[in-house]
Amino acid sequence: MKKYFEIFAKIFFVPIFRALTKKVNGTQNLSNLNPPFIVASNHIDSLDHFFIGTLFEKKLSSLSFLAAFERIKNSFFLLPFYFLGEPIIINRQKMSRKEILQILLQNLKEGKIIVIYPEGDTNRKKILLRGKTGIAELALKSKVKILPLGLVKFFLRREINIGKPMELKEERELFENLKENTKEYFDFLQKTTDKIMREIGKLCQKEYPY
């Protein structure tokens, strides 16, 4: 995030979206949680970025959102915010899974807080979409904590539910013994992703039927 945009966001966006926040539950789960870590949330619409940003007002300089290139190029209105917010842009058509993973791992090594929407797209349905396995692979390889969030929409307002940080200690021990890019490897990533998604489902009051 560009420094002058960070200052502008603290003065302008944070107060507005804090006022639009109906309620925040689980703020105690933010205490003693220092970067780097991953934020995993359900994704209702583009305003989610701003609501999540209110939780990390003092750490905005470390906050990075994951953004798909194909969505950015079709969001003319949001282009200035993408430019100023400096998200981590990935192009799935031109970048391999390994290349994307390396970029994200490097950002975590630099002390970033990476916000990921594991559903992979906006979703206003009552049921969560199947979680993409990249979040599990990133968490297991980086060994950082995952902070699950649940966003509940009330017209323009949001209720934000913050879950307990997930360390995935047991999963890491098993993961280290798996051979990369095998069926067992990807099955394990999906199983771990589903565990993360079930936590998000509880927090956003949506079913995760997988």
Residue 209 in any domain: the answer is no
Average pLDDT on 118-132 reads 95
Q: Which two tokens stand for residue 54?
A: 């209110």
pLDDT of residue 59: 94
Domain membership of residue 121 as a residue range: 3-204
Residue 160 counted as domain residue: yes
- Residue 210 included in any domain: no
Please tell me the predicted confidence (pLDDT) of residue 4: 85
The per-residue pLDDT for 199 is 98
The model scores a pTM over 0.85:
yes
Q: Does position 56 have pLDDT exceeding 90, yes or no?
A: yes
CATH number (domain holding residue 66): 3.40.1130.10
The answer to the question of residue 186 being in a domain is: yes
Q: Is the pLDDT assigned to residue 139 strictly greater than 90?
A: yes
Q: What percent of the chain lies above the pLDDT cut of 70? A: 96
The number of domains in the chain is: 1
Model pLDDT, residue 84: 78
Unique residue bearing structure tokens 């750490």: 59
